[in-house]
Amino acid sequence: MSRDDSALGVVILAGVAYLLWARSAPVGNGLGRNLTAEEAEALDMTRTLQPPIIVPVPRQVPPWVEKTAGSQPFNQQNTAGVTIPAIGAEVTVVTFTVPPRKNGLIQNVSNQFVGGGWTEGSGDLVWRIEADGVPLQGLHNIIASMGSMSNPADFGQNNLAIYENQVIALIALNVAVPAAGQRLLGQFRGRYYPIEQEGQNTWL
């Protein structure tokens, strides 16, 4: 064997030895040993995983707290009024139906007597507000005016919630007023809003 052949053999053996060492050398993982297949796969996954993207969910003010996009004001009134009925009878002064797919609030109301023979607070004339034929608590025995047509009473923070397809009515019962053509007027003011706005992304 020539000297050149011997040198080539040494180089080949050195290359094979290096390859064997490289395959068995510890991976730079801080463990001081080779990773198992499972550990190597887990390490690769942690290198490729990205932190989750957090998308903030928009919050909106509830439509019953603040006027929102899509809300619609209403003013249901009977400016001509109705004639007071005979003693012992009652009459519907103003009524309306909440539109489908809408809820809402009554914010202002007025019940006005035009004529003579009635004293405020006497109980001779009793008004009430109903929803679907049921008198509303606290508004079932009104014995005085709650505002005029030009200046209706404001419920403030105690707005009346109304719901789709409800029938709202202002009714007057003549207890002891001699009927002589007096007129009864009434009004509801407020706003409707789409019921879809009562979603989970509202805050109280």
Q: How many residues in total does the chain contain?
A: 204
Instruction: Give yes or no for residue 138 having a pLDDT over 60.
Output: yes
User: C-alpha angle with apex 59: 53 to 63, nearest 5 degrees?
Assistant: 160
Q: What is the DSSP string of 86-110?
A: -TT-EEEEEEEEPPTTEEEEEEEEE
Question: Where residue 156 falls among pLDDT bands split at 50, 70, 90?
Answer: confident
Residue 36 DSSP symbol: P
**All domains in the chain, ordered by first residue:** 3-48 (no CATH), 72-197 (2.60.120)
Q: What is the DSSP string of 119-135?
A: -TTSSSEEEEEEETTEE
Average pLDDT of the chain to the nearest whole number: 82
Q: Which residue has the higher pLDDT, 158 or 165?
A: 165
Tell me the per-residue pLDDT of 39-53, one tens digit each, with 9 for 90 and over.
666 666 665 655 667
pLDDT number for residue 62:
77
For range 156-184, the mean pLDDT:
95
Local structure of 193: helix, strand or coil: strand
Question: Where residue 203 falls among pLDDT bands split at 50, 70, 90?
Answer: very low
pLDDT number for residue 198:
82
Tell me the per-residue pLDDT of 64-110, one tens digit each, with 9 for 90 and over.
778 888 889 999 999 899 999 999 999 999 999 999 999 999 999 99
